[in-house]
Structure 1
Amino acid sequence: MTPVIELANVAKRYTSSGAPVLGPLDLAVAPGEALAVTGPSGSGKSTLLNLVAGLDRPTEGSVTVSGERLDRLSEHALARFRREHIGMVFQFFNLLDDLTVLDNIQLPAQLTGTARRTAATRAAELMEALGIQKHARAYPGRLSGGERQRVAVARALVNRPALLLADEPTGALDTASGEDVRELLVELHRGGQTLVLVTHDLALATACASRTIHLVDGQPTRDARAAVVR
Protein backbone atom coordinates (compact mmCIF):
# COMPACT_ATOMS: atom_id res chain seq x y z
CA MET A 1 0.00 0.00 0.00
CA THR A 2 1.47 3.33 -1.08
CA PRO A 3 1.89 5.73 1.87
CA VAL A 4 -0.01 9.01 1.88
CA ILE A 5 3.04 10.60 3.51
CA GLU A 6 6.64 9.52 3.03
CA LEU A 7 9.59 11.40 4.53
CA ALA A 8 13.02 10.10 3.56
CA ASN A 9 16.08 11.25 5.53
CA VAL A 10 14.38 14.59 6.21
CA ALA A 11 16.09 17.25 8.28
CA LYS A 12 15.34 20.92 8.84
CA ARG A 13 17.85 23.53 9.93
CA TYR A 14 17.24 27.27 10.26
CA THR A 15 20.95 28.13 10.32
CA SER A 16 23.61 26.53 8.14
CA SER A 17 25.86 25.64 11.07
CA GLY A 18 23.20 24.83 13.66
CA ALA A 19 21.83 21.48 14.74
CA PRO A 20 18.64 20.42 12.96
CA VAL A 21 15.39 21.35 14.69
CA LEU A 22 13.96 18.20 13.13
CA GLY A 23 15.55 14.95 12.00
CA PRO A 24 17.13 13.43 10.16
CA LEU A 25 14.16 11.09 10.17
CA ASP A 26 12.19 8.69 8.01
CA LEU A 27 8.43 8.49 8.32
CA ALA A 28 5.62 6.81 6.40
CA VAL A 29 1.90 7.26 7.05
CA ALA A 30 -0.48 4.78 5.44
CA PRO A 31 -3.91 5.59 3.97
CA GLY A 32 -6.52 5.73 6.72
CA GLU A 33 -3.94 6.03 9.48
CA ALA A 34 -4.40 8.60 12.25
CA LEU A 35 -1.02 9.76 13.51
CA ALA A 36 -0.62 11.90 16.62
CA VAL A 37 2.64 13.82 17.03
CA THR A 38 3.39 14.77 20.63
CA GLY A 39 6.34 16.28 22.47
CA PRO A 40 7.42 19.34 24.47
CA SER A 41 7.57 22.84 23.04
CA GLY A 42 10.48 23.16 20.64
CA SER A 43 10.60 19.44 19.89
CA GLY A 44 9.91 19.87 16.16
CA LYS A 45 6.20 19.06 16.05
CA SER A 46 5.10 22.16 14.16
CA THR A 47 8.14 21.93 11.87
CA LEU A 48 7.12 18.40 10.92
CA LEU A 49 3.56 19.49 10.20
CA ASN A 50 4.76 22.45 8.12
CA LEU A 51 7.00 20.20 6.03
CA VAL A 52 4.16 17.77 5.35
CA ALA A 53 1.88 20.69 4.43
CA GLY A 54 4.44 22.17 2.08
CA LEU A 55 4.54 25.36 4.14
CA ASP A 56 8.25 24.83 4.70
CA ARG A 57 10.97 22.99 2.80
CA PRO A 58 13.44 20.45 4.18
CA THR A 59 17.13 21.29 4.37
CA GLU A 60 17.83 17.67 3.51
CA GLY A 61 15.81 14.72 2.27
CA SER A 62 12.52 14.37 0.45
CA VAL A 63 8.87 14.94 1.41
CA THR A 64 6.29 13.03 -0.62
CA VAL A 65 2.52 13.43 -0.11
CA SER A 66 -0.02 11.52 -2.23
CA GLY A 67 2.76 10.58 -4.63
CA GLU A 68 4.01 14.16 -5.15
CA ARG A 69 7.50 15.32 -4.17
CA LEU A 70 6.66 18.56 -2.36
CA ASP A 71 10.29 19.62 -2.02
CA ARG A 72 10.52 19.80 -5.83
CA LEU A 73 7.43 21.95 -6.44
CA SER A 74 7.38 25.69 -7.05
CA GLU A 75 5.55 27.91 -4.58
CA HIS A 76 2.63 28.26 -7.00
CA ALA A 77 2.42 24.50 -7.51
CA LEU A 78 2.65 23.91 -3.76
CA ALA A 79 -0.26 26.26 -3.10
CA ARG A 80 -2.39 24.48 -5.68
CA PHE A 81 -1.41 21.06 -4.32
CA ARG A 82 -2.41 22.09 -0.79
CA ARG A 83 -5.81 23.32 -1.94
CA GLU A 84 -6.53 20.10 -3.80
CA HIS A 85 -5.01 17.41 -1.57
CA ILE A 86 -4.50 18.69 1.99
CA GLY A 87 -6.98 20.00 4.53
CA MET A 88 -5.69 22.00 7.49
CA VAL A 89 -7.23 22.76 10.87
CA PHE A 90 -5.56 25.30 13.18
CA GLN A 91 -5.68 26.02 16.90
CA PHE A 92 -7.24 29.46 16.39
CA PHE A 93 -9.56 28.43 13.51
CA ASN A 94 -8.23 30.94 10.91
CA LEU A 95 -11.74 31.66 9.65
CA LEU A 96 -12.54 34.85 7.73
CA ASP A 97 -14.75 36.91 10.02
CA ASP A 98 -16.32 38.93 7.22
CA LEU A 99 -17.61 35.79 5.47
CA THR A 100 -20.54 33.67 6.58
CA VAL A 101 -20.07 30.08 7.72
CA LEU A 102 -21.26 28.85 4.32
CA ASP A 103 -18.87 31.13 2.45
CA ASN A 104 -15.94 30.16 4.67
CA ILE A 105 -16.54 26.47 4.00
CA GLN A 106 -17.00 26.69 0.25
CA LEU A 107 -14.14 29.13 -0.39
CA PRO A 108 -11.39 26.49 -0.83
CA ALA A 109 -13.55 24.67 -3.37
CA GLN A 110 -14.10 27.85 -5.34
CA LEU A 111 -10.35 28.55 -5.29
CA THR A 112 -9.76 25.24 -7.08
CA GLY A 113 -12.26 26.18 -9.79
CA THR A 114 -15.28 24.28 -8.49
CA ALA A 115 -18.57 25.81 -9.63
CA ARG A 116 -20.29 27.84 -6.91
CA ARG A 117 -23.40 25.64 -6.97
CA THR A 118 -21.32 22.47 -6.61
CA ALA A 119 -19.25 24.02 -3.81
CA ALA A 120 -22.42 25.12 -1.98
CA THR A 121 -23.87 21.60 -2.25
CA ARG A 122 -20.72 20.06 -0.81
CA ALA A 123 -20.63 22.68 1.98
CA ALA A 124 -24.27 21.93 2.84
CA GLU A 125 -23.47 18.21 3.08
CA LEU A 126 -20.63 18.90 5.49
CA MET A 127 -22.62 21.35 7.61
CA GLU A 128 -25.35 18.76 8.03
CA ALA A 129 -22.86 15.99 8.84
CA LEU A 130 -21.13 18.20 11.43
CA GLY A 131 -24.33 19.60 12.94
CA ILE A 132 -23.73 23.25 12.03
CA GLN A 133 -26.27 23.72 9.23
CA LYS A 134 -28.32 26.16 11.32
CA HIS A 135 -25.31 28.51 11.35
CA ALA A 136 -24.89 28.66 7.54
CA ARG A 137 -25.72 32.38 7.33
CA ALA A 138 -24.07 33.33 10.62
CA TYR A 139 -20.65 34.95 10.95
CA PRO A 140 -17.86 33.10 12.82
CA GLY A 141 -17.62 35.73 15.56
CA ARG A 142 -21.12 34.80 16.75
CA LEU A 143 -20.28 31.13 17.26
CA SER A 144 -18.77 29.27 20.19
CA GLY A 145 -15.21 27.97 19.96
CA GLY A 146 -16.39 24.42 19.36
CA GLU A 147 -18.75 25.55 16.60
CA ARG A 148 -16.00 27.58 14.94
CA GLN A 149 -13.70 24.58 14.98
CA ARG A 150 -16.41 22.49 13.31
CA VAL A 151 -16.64 25.15 10.62
CA ALA A 152 -12.86 24.96 10.23
CA VAL A 153 -13.03 21.16 9.88
CA ALA A 154 -15.78 21.46 7.27
CA ARG A 155 -13.68 23.97 5.34
CA ALA A 156 -10.69 21.61 5.51
CA LEU A 157 -12.76 18.72 4.13
CA VAL A 158 -14.63 20.54 1.37
CA ASN A 159 -12.21 19.43 -1.37
CA ARG A 160 -12.20 15.80 -0.10
CA PRO A 161 -8.48 15.91 0.76
CA ALA A 162 -6.38 12.78 0.93
CA LEU A 163 -4.82 14.16 4.11
CA LEU A 164 -6.15 16.19 7.04
CA LEU A 165 -3.63 18.03 9.22
CA ALA A 166 -4.66 19.37 12.62
CA ASP A 167 -2.41 21.66 14.68
CA GLU A 168 -3.51 21.74 18.35
CA PRO A 169 -7.19 21.63 17.29
CA THR A 170 -8.49 21.73 20.87
CA GLY A 171 -5.83 24.09 22.28
CA ALA A 172 -8.07 27.18 22.25
CA LEU A 173 -11.24 25.42 23.43
CA ASP A 174 -12.87 24.90 26.81
CA THR A 175 -13.19 21.35 28.12
CA ALA A 176 -16.67 20.66 26.73
CA SER A 177 -15.88 22.05 23.29
CA GLY A 178 -12.58 20.18 23.25
CA GLU A 179 -14.36 16.90 23.92
CA ASP A 180 -16.80 17.71 21.13
CA VAL A 181 -13.99 18.24 18.62
CA ARG A 182 -12.22 15.13 19.90
CA GLU A 183 -15.27 13.02 19.08
CA LEU A 184 -15.44 14.63 15.65
CA LEU A 185 -11.83 13.66 14.91
CA VAL A 186 -12.50 10.11 16.12
CA GLU A 187 -15.46 9.84 13.74
CA LEU A 188 -13.40 11.16 10.83
CA HIS A 189 -10.73 8.54 11.51
CA ARG A 190 -13.34 5.79 11.73
CA GLY A 191 -14.62 6.97 8.36
CA GLY A 192 -11.19 6.36 6.81
CA GLN A 193 -9.77 9.88 6.77
CA THR A 194 -5.97 9.97 6.91
CA LEU A 195 -5.08 12.33 9.75
CA VAL A 196 -1.95 13.85 11.27
CA LEU A 197 -2.58 15.55 14.60
CA VAL A 198 -0.08 17.70 16.49
CA THR A 199 -1.02 18.08 20.14
CA HIS A 200 0.23 18.58 23.69
CA ASP A 201 -2.92 16.79 24.88
CA LEU A 202 -2.08 13.12 25.48
CA ALA A 203 -5.75 12.31 26.09
CA LEU A 204 -6.60 13.69 22.66
CA ALA A 205 -3.80 11.67 21.06
CA THR A 206 -4.94 8.50 22.82
CA ALA A 207 -8.57 8.99 21.79
CA CYS A 208 -8.00 9.94 18.16
CA ALA A 209 -4.87 8.23 16.94
CA SER A 210 -4.03 4.74 15.77
CA ARG A 211 -0.35 5.64 16.12
CA THR A 212 1.59 8.14 18.23
CA ILE A 213 5.08 9.54 17.68
CA HIS A 214 6.73 11.44 20.52
CA LEU A 215 9.41 13.94 19.50
CA VAL A 216 12.22 15.26 21.66
CA ASP A 217 14.83 17.61 20.17
CA GLY A 218 13.66 16.82 16.67
CA GLN A 219 13.93 13.05 17.02
CA PRO A 220 11.24 10.44 17.65
CA THR A 221 11.79 8.80 21.03
CA ARG A 222 8.65 6.68 20.78
CA ASP A 223 6.62 5.36 17.84
CA ALA A 224 3.70 3.32 19.14
CA ARG A 225 0.58 1.93 17.59
CA ALA A 226 -2.72 1.64 19.45
CA ALA A 227 -3.30 -1.84 20.85
CA VAL A 228 -6.96 -1.78 19.84
CA VAL A 229 -8.40 -0.61 16.53
CA ARG A 230 -11.16 1.85 17.36
Structure 2
Amino acid sequence: MTQVIELTGVTKRYDSGGTPALGPLDLGVAQGEALAVTGPSGSGKSTLLNLVAGLDKPTEGAVTVAGQRIDRLSEHELARFRRARIGMVFQFFNLLDDLTVTDNIQLPAQLTGTARRKTAARATELMELLGIARHAHVYPGQLSGGERQRVAVARALVNRPALLLADEPTGALDTASGHDVRELLVDLHRGGQTVVLVTHDMTLAEACASRTIQLVDGHLTLDSCAEPVR
Protein backbone atom coordinates (compact mmCIF):
# COMPACT_ATOMS: atom_id res chain seq x y z
CA MET A 1 0.00 0.00 0.00
CA THR A 2 1.24 3.48 -0.87
CA GLN A 3 2.75 5.37 2.03
CA VAL A 4 1.68 9.02 2.25
CA ILE A 5 4.02 9.68 5.21
CA GLU A 6 7.37 8.03 5.89
CA LEU A 7 9.54 9.13 8.81
CA THR A 8 12.89 7.36 8.99
CA GLY A 9 15.22 7.83 11.95
CA VAL A 10 13.68 11.20 12.72
CA THR A 11 14.93 13.18 15.72
CA LYS A 12 14.17 16.79 16.58
CA ARG A 13 16.19 18.79 19.11
CA TYR A 14 15.61 22.44 19.88
CA ASP A 15 18.82 22.66 21.94
CA SER A 16 21.93 21.19 20.32
CA GLY A 17 22.95 19.25 23.41
CA GLY A 18 19.53 18.77 24.92
CA THR A 19 17.10 15.87 25.14
CA PRO A 20 15.23 15.39 21.85
CA ALA A 21 11.70 16.81 21.73
CA LEU A 22 10.94 13.89 19.42
CA GLY A 23 12.56 10.64 18.46
CA PRO A 24 14.32 8.81 17.28
CA LEU A 25 11.16 7.82 15.42
CA ASP A 26 10.24 5.63 12.46
CA LEU A 27 6.64 6.00 11.30
CA GLY A 28 4.63 5.27 8.17
CA VAL A 29 1.08 6.31 7.33
CA ALA A 30 -0.63 4.59 4.42
CA GLN A 31 -2.88 6.17 1.83
CA GLY A 32 -6.46 6.29 3.11
CA GLU A 33 -5.43 5.78 6.74
CA ALA A 34 -6.74 7.98 9.55
CA LEU A 35 -4.07 8.27 12.24
CA ALA A 36 -4.72 9.79 15.65
CA VAL A 37 -1.65 11.10 17.49
CA THR A 38 -2.24 11.23 21.24
CA GLY A 39 -0.20 11.86 24.37
CA PRO A 40 0.18 14.33 27.22
CA SER A 41 1.19 17.96 26.75
CA GLY A 42 4.85 18.22 25.85
CA SER A 43 4.97 14.69 24.47
CA GLY A 44 6.03 15.71 20.95
CA LYS A 45 2.66 15.73 19.17
CA SER A 46 2.98 19.28 17.83
CA THR A 47 6.61 18.68 16.89
CA LEU A 48 5.57 15.64 14.87
CA LEU A 49 2.80 17.57 13.13
CA ASN A 50 5.15 20.45 12.31
CA LEU A 51 7.70 18.08 10.78
CA VAL A 52 5.08 16.35 8.63
CA ALA A 53 3.69 19.73 7.54
CA GLY A 54 7.15 21.00 6.63
CA LEU A 55 6.84 23.81 9.16
CA ASP A 56 10.00 22.53 10.85
CA LYS A 57 12.89 20.31 9.84
CA PRO A 58 14.34 17.32 11.68
CA THR A 59 17.71 17.47 13.37
CA GLU A 60 18.33 13.99 12.00
CA GLY A 61 16.49 11.63 9.70
CA ALA A 62 14.24 11.82 6.66
CA VAL A 63 10.65 13.07 6.28
CA THR A 64 8.86 11.99 3.10
CA VAL A 65 5.30 13.13 2.36
CA ALA A 66 3.35 12.14 -0.78
CA GLY A 67 6.56 10.80 -2.31
CA GLN A 68 8.53 14.00 -1.69
CA ARG A 69 11.53 14.20 0.65
CA ILE A 70 10.38 17.45 2.26
CA ASP A 71 13.24 17.91 4.73
CA ARG A 72 15.47 18.67 1.72
CA LEU A 73 13.24 21.40 0.29
CA SER A 74 13.89 25.14 0.56
CA GLU A 75 11.39 27.35 2.36
CA HIS A 76 9.94 28.49 -0.97
CA GLU A 77 9.64 24.91 -2.20
CA LEU A 78 8.03 23.86 1.09
CA ALA A 79 5.42 26.60 0.90
CA ARG A 80 4.51 25.57 -2.64
CA PHE A 81 4.40 21.88 -1.65
CA ARG A 82 2.14 22.57 1.34
CA ARG A 83 -0.32 24.55 -0.74
CA ALA A 84 -0.60 21.79 -3.31
CA ARG A 85 -0.34 18.58 -1.28
CA ILE A 86 -1.24 19.24 2.39
CA GLY A 87 -4.45 20.58 3.91
CA MET A 88 -4.32 21.89 7.46
CA VAL A 89 -7.09 22.42 10.02
CA PHE A 90 -6.34 24.21 13.28
CA GLN A 91 -8.00 24.45 16.69
CA PHE A 92 -8.83 28.15 16.26
CA PHE A 93 -9.79 27.98 12.55
CA ASN A 94 -7.26 30.58 11.25
CA LEU A 95 -9.80 32.05 8.84
CA LEU A 96 -9.38 35.55 7.45
CA ASP A 97 -12.14 37.67 8.98
CA ASP A 98 -12.23 40.22 6.15
CA LEU A 99 -12.90 37.55 3.50
CA THR A 100 -16.24 35.83 2.89
CA VAL A 101 -16.65 32.10 3.37
CA THR A 102 -16.25 31.55 -0.38
CA ASP A 103 -13.12 33.68 -0.57
CA ASN A 104 -11.55 31.92 2.43
CA ILE A 105 -12.13 28.54 0.80
CA GLN A 106 -10.82 29.62 -2.59
CA LEU A 107 -7.65 31.27 -1.31
CA PRO A 108 -5.29 28.23 -1.33
CA ALA A 109 -6.35 27.34 -4.89
CA GLN A 110 -5.76 30.92 -6.00
CA LEU A 111 -2.28 30.81 -4.49
CA THR A 112 -1.45 27.71 -6.56
CA GLY A 113 -2.63 29.44 -9.75
CA THR A 114 -5.70 27.27 -10.34
CA ALA A 115 -8.08 28.73 -12.91
CA ARG A 116 -10.77 30.93 -11.39
CA ARG A 117 -13.68 28.96 -12.84
CA LYS A 118 -12.26 25.66 -11.59
CA THR A 119 -11.60 27.15 -8.16
CA ALA A 120 -15.14 28.50 -7.88
CA ALA A 121 -16.63 25.15 -8.89
CA ARG A 122 -14.53 23.31 -6.33
CA ALA A 123 -15.48 25.75 -3.55
CA THR A 124 -19.18 25.36 -4.39
CA GLU A 125 -18.82 21.58 -4.38
CA LEU A 126 -17.20 21.61 -0.93
CA MET A 127 -19.69 24.05 0.57
CA GLU A 128 -22.55 21.83 -0.55
CA LEU A 129 -20.77 18.69 0.69
CA LEU A 130 -20.09 20.23 4.11
CA GLY A 131 -23.50 21.86 4.53
CA ILE A 132 -22.33 25.48 4.50
CA ALA A 133 -23.52 26.61 1.05
CA ARG A 134 -26.03 29.01 2.61
CA HIS A 135 -23.12 30.87 4.22
CA ALA A 136 -21.21 31.40 0.97
CA HIS A 137 -21.30 35.20 1.12
CA VAL A 138 -21.10 35.83 4.85
CA TYR A 139 -18.01 36.51 6.95
CA PRO A 140 -16.48 34.12 9.52
CA GLY A 141 -17.45 36.34 12.45
CA GLN A 142 -21.12 35.71 11.65
CA LEU A 143 -20.76 31.94 12.01
CA SER A 144 -20.80 29.53 14.94
CA GLY A 145 -17.61 27.72 15.92
CA GLY A 146 -18.73 24.52 14.24
CA GLU A 147 -19.58 26.36 11.03
CA ARG A 148 -16.23 28.11 11.01
CA GLN A 149 -14.46 24.79 11.41
CA ARG A 150 -16.39 23.42 8.43
CA VAL A 151 -15.19 26.40 6.41
CA ALA A 152 -11.64 25.64 7.56
CA VAL A 153 -12.02 22.02 6.46
CA ALA A 154 -13.33 23.11 3.06
CA ARG A 155 -10.37 25.46 2.67
CA ALA A 156 -8.01 22.61 3.58
CA LEU A 157 -9.57 20.34 0.96
CA VAL A 158 -9.88 22.80 -1.92
CA ASN A 159 -6.65 21.64 -3.60
CA ARG A 160 -7.51 17.94 -3.16
CA PRO A 161 -4.53 17.35 -0.86
CA ALA A 162 -2.86 13.99 -0.45
CA LEU A 163 -2.88 14.58 3.30
CA LEU A 164 -5.18 16.36 5.75
CA LEU A 165 -3.60 17.42 9.05
CA ALA A 166 -5.95 18.35 11.90
CA ASP A 167 -4.54 19.89 15.09
CA GLU A 168 -7.06 19.63 17.97
CA PRO A 169 -9.90 20.40 15.50
CA THR A 170 -12.63 20.23 18.16
CA GLY A 171 -10.65 21.83 20.99
CA ALA A 172 -12.34 25.24 20.70
CA LEU A 173 -15.86 23.93 20.07
CA ASP A 174 -18.87 23.25 22.24
CA THR A 175 -20.10 19.67 22.56
CA ALA A 176 -22.64 19.81 19.74
CA SER A 177 -20.27 21.50 17.28
CA GLY A 178 -17.50 19.10 18.27
CA HIS A 179 -19.79 16.17 17.47
CA ASP A 180 -20.55 17.65 14.04
CA VAL A 181 -16.85 18.07 13.20
CA ARG A 182 -16.16 14.55 14.46
CA GLU A 183 -18.79 13.16 12.09
CA LEU A 184 -17.31 15.23 9.27
CA LEU A 185 -13.84 13.74 9.84
CA VAL A 186 -15.34 10.24 9.91
CA ASP A 187 -17.05 10.89 6.57
CA LEU A 188 -13.84 12.22 5.02
CA HIS A 189 -11.94 9.13 6.11
CA ARG A 190 -14.66 6.86 4.75
CA GLY A 191 -14.30 8.72 1.47
CA GLY A 192 -10.63 7.79 1.29
CA GLN A 193 -8.97 10.94 2.62
CA THR A 194 -5.69 10.34 4.44
CA VAL A 195 -5.90 12.10 7.81
CA VAL A 196 -3.48 12.73 10.66
CA LEU A 197 -5.31 13.99 13.74
CA VAL A 198 -3.53 15.39 16.80
CA THR A 199 -5.82 15.32 19.82
CA HIS A 200 -6.10 14.99 23.58
CA ASP A 201 -9.67 13.76 23.10
CA MET A 202 -9.73 9.96 23.11
CA THR A 203 -13.42 9.96 22.13
CA LEU A 204 -12.48 11.87 18.98
CA ALA A 205 -9.56 9.54 18.31
CA GLU A 206 -11.67 6.42 18.74
CA ALA A 207 -14.44 7.77 16.51
CA CYS A 208 -12.30 9.10 13.67
CA ALA A 209 -9.12 7.05 13.51
CA SER A 210 -8.36 3.67 12.02
CA ARG A 211 -5.09 3.71 13.98
CA THR A 212 -3.89 5.47 17.13
CA ILE A 213 -0.36 6.16 18.31
CA GLN A 214 0.73 7.63 21.62
CA LEU A 215 3.79 9.75 22.25
CA VAL A 216 5.35 10.22 25.68
CA ASP A 217 8.47 12.36 26.12
CA GLY A 218 9.08 12.27 22.38
CA HIS A 219 8.95 8.51 22.11
CA LEU A 220 6.37 6.20 20.54
CA THR A 221 4.85 4.19 23.40
CA LEU A 222 1.74 2.77 21.70
CA ASP A 223 0.73 1.90 18.15
CA SER A 224 -2.70 0.31 17.93
CA CYS A 225 -1.79 -1.44 14.65
CA ALA A 226 1.43 -2.92 15.98
CA GLU A 227 2.79 -4.90 18.89
CA PRO A 228 3.14 -2.82 22.09
CA VAL A 229 6.17 -0.56 21.92
CA ARG A 230 8.68 -1.29 24.68
TM bin, normalised by shorter chain, reads: over 0.9
Unaligned runs of 5+ in 2: none
Residue in structure 1 matched with residue 181 of structure 2 by the alignment: 181
Q: CA deviation at 1:16?
A: 0.3
1:78 corresponds to 2:75: no
| Structure 1 runs (4+) greater than 2 angstroms displaced | none
1:160 corresponds to 2:160: yes
Q: What's the secondary structure of 2:154's corresponding residue? A: helix
1:140 corresponds to 2:140: yes
Residue in structure 2 matched with residue 210 of structure 1 by the alignment: 210
Unaligned runs of 5+ in 1: none
Normalised to the residue count of structure 2, the TM-score between the two structures is 0.97
Distance 1:185 1:20 in 2: 31
Amino acid corresponding to residue 101 of structure 1 in structure 2:
V
Distance 2:117 2:68 in 1: 30
Q: CA deviation at 1:147?
A: 0.1
Residue in structure 2 matched with residue 101 of structure 1 by the alignment: 101
Distance 2:175 2:2 in 1: 37
Residue in structure 2 matched with residue 127 of structure 1 by the alignment: 127
Distance 1:19 1:9 in 2: 16
1:33 corresponds to 2:18: no
Amino acid corresponding to residue 75 of structure 2 in structure 1:
E
- What CA deviation, in whole Å up to 9, does each residue of 1:117-158 have, x standing for no partner? 211110000000000000000000000000000000000000
Residue in structure 2 matched with residue 66 of structure 1 by the alignment: 66
Q: CA deviation at 1:115?
A: 1.4
Residue in structure 1 matched with residue 91 of structure 2 by the alignment: 91
- Aligned-residue sequence identity (percent) comes to 82
RMSD of Structure 2 on Structure 1 (CA): 0.8
Residue in structure 2 matched with residue 190 of structure 1 by the alignment: 190
Q: CA deviation at 1:225?
A: 3.4
- What CA deviation, in whole Å up to 9, does each residue of 1:31-57 have, x standing for no partner? 000000000000000000000000000
Q: What's the secondary structure of 2:32's corresponding residue? A: coil
Q: What's the secondary structure of 1:4's corresponding residue? A: strand
Amino acid corresponding to residue 155 of structure 2 in structure 1:
R
Distance 1:187 1:156 in 2: 15
Normalised to the residue count of structure 1, the TM-score between the two structures is 0.97
Distance 1:209 1:155 in 2: 21
Residue in structure 2 matched with residue 22 of structure 1 by the alignment: 22
